[in-house]
Structure 1
Amino acid sequence: MKDFNDCVNSYKEQLQIGDIREAYTGLVKYVTKLGTNLSKNLSKSYSFGSLFQGYMDYTYFYYSNQFLKDRKLKMGLVLNHLEMQFEVWLLGQTIPIQERYWEYFKNTKWNKKRTTKPQYSILETVLVENPNFNDLDKLSKQIEDGLVHVTDEIMKDIKTSRLTK
């Protein structure tokens, strides 16, 4: 196993090449602009939070509506850097809420391939598996359409669950 200093030297070398720095900056700028556009386009359905850059693992922002807030839930639009894909996550405000909703969602289509609860969420679903960053307008439309569709499905399942507020 490499020691920390070796890792830092490797990091420095990669930063000097420039591709990682340029890609990361571009990705964060894109997700920031995406959040702004979604906030404008979907303001009648959802409120959107600020961007969280993460630690080169996830870049994300939260979004919600009154239905979700009443249940102490929120959604997250996540750029998973390791998989380089966009995901939608359902999250709870507290661990007990996450656990309660996990008990319901663990046996649904959303978690059929999971045996344990996700680390940060109740469920995680892939929205865009292989994003094409050469056509950002098309990618943004794909994300917006998918976000609306997936969020509607998740909220429908929450209603069906009969879990109380």
Structure 2
Amino acid sequence: MKDLNHYVDKYKEQLKNGDIQEAYVGLVKYVTRLGTTLSKNLSEHYSFGSLFQGYMDYTYFYYSNDFLKKRKLKMGLVLNHSKMQFEVWLLGQTIPIQEKFWEYFKSTKWNKDRTTRPQYSILETVLIEKPNFNDLEKLSKQIENKLVSVTDEIIEDIKKSKLT
């Protein structure tokens, strides 16, 4: 295993180049604006939380409604940096809640090909696999439309589960 100094040297090399900082700042600014836009456009359906920048792994914010809150659940809109894709996650307020809903969702289409619960969530699904960051307005509309349809579908599955 390489020591920390090795990784720090590689990190410094990349920082000198400057591209990583530009990309990261641009992505975080975009997701921040996206959260504001969604909060404005979808305020009748969901309440949106603040942005979490993560550790260059995930940038995300939570959103929820009364139905989800009553069940101690929330959704997350996540920019997965390593895969560079937008995802929607269903999350539980506590590990026992996540495990309870995982028992139901592990045999649904949402967790097809998964044998273990995701590390941070009950389910994770791709919203936009290859985002085009050169047309942010179009990307935002795509995300908004898919977010609404996917979230509605997940909520319908929660209703079918009869879990409270």
Normalising by structure 1, what TM-score?
0.99
* Alpha-carbon RMSD: 0.4
Q: Return the alpha-carbon distance in structure 1 between the equivalents of residues 136 and 2 of structure 2.
A: 38
Structure 2 letter corresponding to 1:30 = Y
The number of aligned residues is 164
Residue 67 of structure 2 is aligned to residue 55 of structure 1: no
Residue 20 of structure 2 is aligned to residue 11 of structure 1: no
Structure 2 letter corresponding to 1:150 = V
Residue 128 of structure 2 is aligned to residue 128 of structure 1: yes
Residue 45 of structure 2 is aligned to residue 84 of structure 1: no
Query: By how many angstroms is 1:113 displaced?
Result: 1.4
Q: Percent identity?
A: 80
Q: Return the alpha-carbon distance in structure 2 between the equivalents of residues 151 and 27 of structure 1.
A: 23
1:98 equivalent in structure 2: 98
Q: Return the alpha-carbon distance in structure 2 between the equivalents of residues 66 and 24 of structure 1.
A: 33
Q: Return the alpha-carbon distance in structure 1 between the equivalents of residues 38 and 12 of structure 2.
A: 35
Q: Return the alpha-carbon distance in structure 2 between the equivalents of residues 127 and 92 of structure 1.
A: 20
State the SS of the aligned residue for 1:114.
coil
Cα deviation code 1:40-62 (max 9, x no counterpart)? 00000000000000000000000
Structure 2 letter corresponding to 1:74 = K
Q: What runs of 5+ residues in structure 2 fail to find an aligned partner?
A: none
Query: By how many angstroms is 1:84 displaced?
Result: 0.2
Query: By how many angstroms is 1:82 displaced?
Result: 0.3
Query: By how many angstroms is 1:72 displaced?
Result: 0.2
1:40 equivalent in structure 2: 40
Normalising by structure 2, what TM-score?
0.99
Q: What runs of 5+ residues in structure 1 fail to find an aligned partner?
A: none
Residue 154 of structure 2 is aligned to residue 144 of structure 1: no
Q: Return the alpha-carbon distance in structure 2 between the equivalents of residues 139 and 113 of structure 1.
A: 28
Cα deviation code 1:53-74 (max 9, x no counterpart)? 0000000000000000000000
